[in-house]
């Protein structure tokens, strides 16, 4: 697997540079296939990128936006990745995009994952764009160290779709696209910021157990070239 490093002076420059690259990939997808798809991460890092992307001139009604992972929490709560996307990406021009959530108000996270798998079945085979983040523990999407279904989620034989994950470091039960759903995106990006995450990345790039740092699955065996976007 090859990785290209894109280094920026600061978060604002990164947000703009990444938004440009994503907008160009989505527009090319619409031109080639009449539609485009993007799966984005939650957490604290992507807010400025979302805002930069939301104003780009893309044929947004033809774009489907979803999440790489979600917490099993209602979408009006501050821990909801859906809320982050609705408040920061699905605004301005991008308000016209289609959105496919991973959270459903089901009795269990398993039921919500089944509903999300069904609803997203027509999207992303492969995704045009996947934007991954990374936690300080080396998790990406909801592939957490010690995750209850980590081996299954990272197994390339596990089909595309959404599954549940529970882990000590995860807080709420999680909903996550499987590794097979994400690793072949036409534009596969890892977006990280700060010196601490650069150190985590360096550790993960060295050979080692995926169970300890699940980001290794993406770094070492994703089918698509990985573009790493970093700013201090
Ligand atoms: O739990 C999550 O964390 C990661 C990293 O988030 P950050 O706050 O360190 O940027 C994120 O990529 C993932 O989507 C989210 O659910």
Q: What is the ipTM of this complex?
A: 0.97
Residue 1 has a pLDDT of 64
Whether the model pTM is above 0.90: yes
Q: How far is the CA of 185 from the centre of ligand 1 (A)?
A: 19
Does 116 fall in a domain? yes
What CATH number is given to the structural domain containing 91?
Answer: 3.40.50.1360
Ligand 1 atom at minimum distance from 174 CA: 16
For the stretch 154-175, pLDDT in tens is: 999 999 999 999 999 999 999 9
For the stretch 194-214, pLDDT in tens is: 999 999 999 999 999 999 999
Ligand 1 atom at minimum distance from 134 CA: 5
User: Angle CA(64)–CA(65)–CA(69) in degrees, nearest 5?
Assistant: 140
Does 147 fall in a domain? no
Q: How far is the CA of 16 from the centre of ligand 1 (A)?
A: 20
Does 43 fall in a domain? yes
Q: How far is the CA of 31 from the centre of ligand 1 (A)?
A: 31
> What is the pLDDT averaged over residues 117-141?
98
Does 42 fall in a domain? yes
Q: How far is the CA of 168 from the centre of ligand 1 (A)?
A: 15
Using CA atoms, how far apart are residues 83 and 162, in angstroms rounded to an integer? 19
User: Angle CA(15)–CA(20)–CA(26) in degrees, nearest 5?
Assistant: 120
Preceding peptide of 136 cis, ω within 30°:
no
Domain that holds residue 109: 4-132+159-192
Does 226 fall in a domain? no
Does 138 fall in a domain? no
pLDDT at 97 over 80: yes
Which positions ≥6 away from 134 have C-beta within 8 Å?
140, 190, 192, 197, 200, 201, 204, 215
- Cβ atoms 16, 107 nearer than 8 A: no
Using CA atoms, how far apart are residues 106 and 121, in angstroms rounded to an integer? 18
Does 97 fall in a domain? yes
Does 148 fall in a domain? no
133 touches ligand 1 (CB under 6 Å): yes
Residue 129 has a pLDDT of 98
Question: What percent of the chain is predicted at pLDDT more than 70?
Answer: 100
Candidate from 11, 14, 68, 69 with most ligand 1 atoms within 8 A of CB, to mutate: 69
What is the number of structural domains in the chain?
A: 1
> What is the pLDDT averaged over residues 12-35?
98
């Amino acid at each position: 697997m090859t990785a290209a490093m894109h280094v920026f002076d600061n978060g604002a420059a990164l947000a703009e540079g990444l938004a440009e690259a994503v907008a160009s990939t989505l527009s090319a997808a619409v031109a080639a296939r009449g539609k485009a798809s993007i799966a984005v991460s939650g957490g604290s890092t992507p807010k400025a990128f979302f805002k930069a992307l939301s104003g780009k001139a893309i044929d947004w009604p033809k774009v489907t936006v979803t999440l790489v992972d979600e917490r099993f929490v209602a979408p009006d709560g501050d821990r909801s990745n859906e809320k982050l996307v609705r408040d920061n990406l699905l605004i301005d021009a991008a308000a016209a995009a289609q959105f496919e959530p991973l959270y459903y108000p089901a009795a269990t996270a398993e039921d919500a994952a089944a509903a999300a798998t069904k609803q997203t079945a027509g999207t992303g085979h492969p995704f045009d764009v996947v934007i991954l983040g990374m936690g300080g523990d080396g998790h990406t999407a909801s592939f957490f160290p010690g995750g209850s279904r980590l081996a299954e989620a990272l197994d390339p034989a596990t089909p595309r779709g959404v599954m549940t994950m529970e882990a000590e470091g995860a807080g709420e039960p999680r909903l996550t696209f499987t590794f097979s759903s994400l690793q072949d995106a036409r534009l596969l990006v890892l977006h990280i910021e700060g010196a601490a995450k650069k150190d985590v990345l360096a550790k993960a790039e060295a050979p080692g157990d995926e169970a300890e740092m699940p980001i290794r699955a993406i770094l070492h065996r994703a089918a698509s070239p990985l573009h790493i976007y970093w700013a201090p």
